[in-house]
Amino acid sequence: MSKTFDVVVIGGGPGGYIAAIRAAQLGLEVACIDEWSNTKGGPALGGTCTNVGCIPSKALLQSSENFAHAAHGFAAHGIGVAGLTIDVAKMVARKDAIVKQNNDGIQYLFKKNKVAFFHGRGSFARALDGGRGGYEIAVAGNEAATLTARQVVVATGSSARALPGLPFDEERILSNDGALRIGRVPERLGIVGSGVIGLEMGSVWRRLGAQVTVLEALPVFLGAADEQVAKEALKAFTKQGLAIELGVKVGEVKIGKAGKGSKSGNGDHGDVSVSYTDAKGEARTLEVDRLIVSVGRAPNTVGLAPEAVGLQLDERGAVVVDDECRTNLPGVWAVGDVVRGPMLAHKAEEEGVAVAERIAGQHGHVDFGTIPWVIYTDPEIAWVGQTEQQLKAAGRAYRAGSFPFAANGRARALGNTTGFVKFLADAATDEILGVHIVGPLASELIAEAVVAMAFKASSEDIARICHAHPSLGEAMKEAALAVDKRTLNA
């Protein structure tokens, strides 16, 4: 088959599928190619985020949080629970069903918006007239095809980075993929990397009873977060029983024979022995049943044949783009995890929309300064804008205001008073420069801060807005008031 499209999008994750839908909404003829397959070999649209990322991880976090509440939280409400059990197979099946709903939902959206979908691998075949005449894109898969694209959007995402010499087998050495489908609660779970995946996946299996040890190379915990937030979070995670060792150097990892020697007696895996040097320089060994390696992700460009058209990659293999997601080739754009910037689904989506609008002659724009970060642990962690340490390093004069959830009525009623909200505002203009939250529903509360920063609000603006009582949102108002040292409830 051979057909010409205005836009061909390679990759059907949040960057690609959203770009395709927006371009189609704007009247362009659009195709999207994605190679992800479900267990039956059919398409599974939605990329990493839908299949092995945002959605399934949040499903398991919810299940494990429910379990933890029943095990430890209900008693304070006078609710007794006897014989509490966890059926991991059922929990994983629920997660899989949620993933499928999302896969099917995107396929429906493609039909609704008349986006032509091709299930297979897309690669650059050749540039026509140096790219000015478009590009030929080959599709390899069940239905092989050659598509001609006037404009191309590369949205091929990222994959988990393995440790050198330690490939993922997804049985004992797990990437995010295997970590999301462990069939039983491991007795001893090791995690290399205390980043976002390590903390979220570590929380899931810890809540269900695993003994979890996290080995982190850096001497600081969650270096990207505000220091005060990171400190509070580390205290809470340690209390929950996550053993987090900072400043370690992971050495050799030995894998025992499957099914043999496992102290947990699960019988479906063997021992994994991790040699490492601790922060004091002492040689140590960690024995676990399974090891999650979550040390960051690498951009996906293998299979895309960038060399066929001269698409420029950087030293990490990411597609080089400018602030508007233009590559070095005319009519070729790239968005999401395959380019610079944070590897977040909403960042990918924003870039996808902006690129579609620019292709249609509009002025799509992404405000990189107001992209929120959320870590869905307990307590949740969320922030937008700059941290206190970044402001200090930049020599920016600022004022800070914090409010603890312990002084918030709704948090007390919820029984979740860990953490605080912190506002950072310019010392002269009071413009909000950053908002940092550690505590209940930080993931939802941060939206108010994003809106405020997008509209260049001052902390006084938030302090003067009526927030419902009792609500966690009142902690936002109080932290904004604290910038001017006039909290009302603390």
Catalytic residues, by residue number, are 469
Binder of residue 217, out of ligand FAD, ligand NAI, none (CB less than 5 to 8 A by kind): ligand NAI
In angstroms, rounded to a whole number, what is the distance separating the alpha carbons of residues 81 and 456?
Answer: 49
List 63, 300, 408, 418, residue binding ligand FAD (CB under 6 A): 300
Site residues for ligand FAD, 54-73, by CB under 6 A, read 54, 57
Number of residues that bind ligand FAD (CB under 6 A): 37
- Min. distance of Cβ 217 from ligand NAI in angstroms? 4
Binder of residue 459, out of ligand NAI, ligand FAD, none (CB less than 5 to 8 A by kind): none
Count other C-beta atoms under 10 Å from residue 343's C-beta: 18
Helices (H) and strands (E) in the chain, counts: 13, 21
CA 19 remoteness from chain centre: 19
C-beta separation of 440 from 405 below 8 A = yes
Binder of residue 10, out of ligand NAI, ligand FAD, none (CB less than 5 to 8 A by kind): ligand FAD
Identity of the residue, 145 or 192, whose beta carbon is nearer to ligand NAI in the bound complex: 192
Query: Over the range 204-238, which residues count as b (16 or more CB within 10 Å of their CB) and which as e?
Result: bbbbbbbbbbbbbeeeebbeebbbbbbebbbebbe
Binder of residue 215, out of ligand FAD, ligand NAI, none (CB less than 5 to 8 A by kind): ligand NAI
Binder of residue 423, out of ligand NAI, ligand FAD, none (CB less than 5 to 8 A by kind): none
Identity of the residue, 270 or 306, whose beta carbon is nearer to ligand FAD in the bound complex: 306
- Min. distance of Cβ 253 from ligand NAI in angstroms? 11
Binder of residue 12, out of ligand NAI, ligand FAD, none (CB less than 5 to 8 A by kind): ligand FAD
List 31, 49, 272, 438, residue binding ligand FAD (CB under 6 A): 49
Report angle CA 196, 201, 203 to the nearest 5 degrees.
Answer: 100
Identity of the residue, 343 or 482, whose beta carbon is nearer to ligand FAD in the bound complex: 343
Identity of the residue, 250 or 481, whose beta carbon is nearer to ligand NAI in the bound complex: 250
Residue 423, phi then psi, degrees to nearest 5: -105, 140
In angstroms, rounded to a whole number, what is the distance separating the alpha carbons of residues 413 and 76?
Answer: 11
Of 303, 288, 452, 439, the C-alpha closest to 367 is 452
Identity of the residue, 331 or 404, whose beta carbon is nearer to ligand FAD in the bound complex: 331
For residue 368, give Cα distances in angstroms to 20, 324, 350, 417, 453: 21, 11, 10, 31, 11
Q: From residue 406 to residue 425, what is the string marking binding to ligand FAD with x (rule CB under 6 A)?
A: --------------------
Taking CB under 6 A as the rule, does residue 344 contact ligand FAD? yes
- Min. distance of Cβ 145 from ligand FAD in angstroms? 12
Of 288, 298, 457, the C-alpha closest to 370 is 457
Task: Pull the structure tokens for residue 233.
Answer: 């979070």
Residue with structure tokens 């396929």?
107
Q: Across the chain, which distance is largest between two alpha carbons, in Å?
A: 74
C-beta separation of 52 from 146 below 8 A = no
Identity of the residue, 8 or 318, whose beta carbon is nearer to ligand NAI in the bound complex: 318
In angstroms, rounded to a whole number, what is the distance separating the alpha carbons of residues 346 and 384?
Answer: 13
Taking CB under 6 A as the rule, does residue 303 contact ligand FAD? yes
Which residues of the shown chain bind ligand NAI in the complex (CB under 6 A)? 163, 192-198, 200, 215-218, 250, 294-297, 342-344, 374-376
Taking CB under 6 A as the rule, does residue 158 contact ligand FAD? yes
Count other C-beta atoms under 10 Å from residue 375's C-beta: 23
Region from 299-307, 404-412, 425-433, 451-459 binding ligand FAD, contact rule CB under 6 A: 299-307
Binder of residue 216, out of ligand FAD, ligand NAI, none (CB less than 5 to 8 A by kind): ligand NAI
Query: Over the range 83-113, which residues count as b (16 or more CB within 10 Å of their CB) and which as e?
Result: eeebebeebbeebbebbeebbeebbebbeee
Q: Which positions lie near ligand FAD, rule CB under 6 A?
A: 10-16, 33-36, 47-49, 53-54, 57, 121-123, 155-158, 176, 197, 300, 303-304, 336-338, 343-346, 348
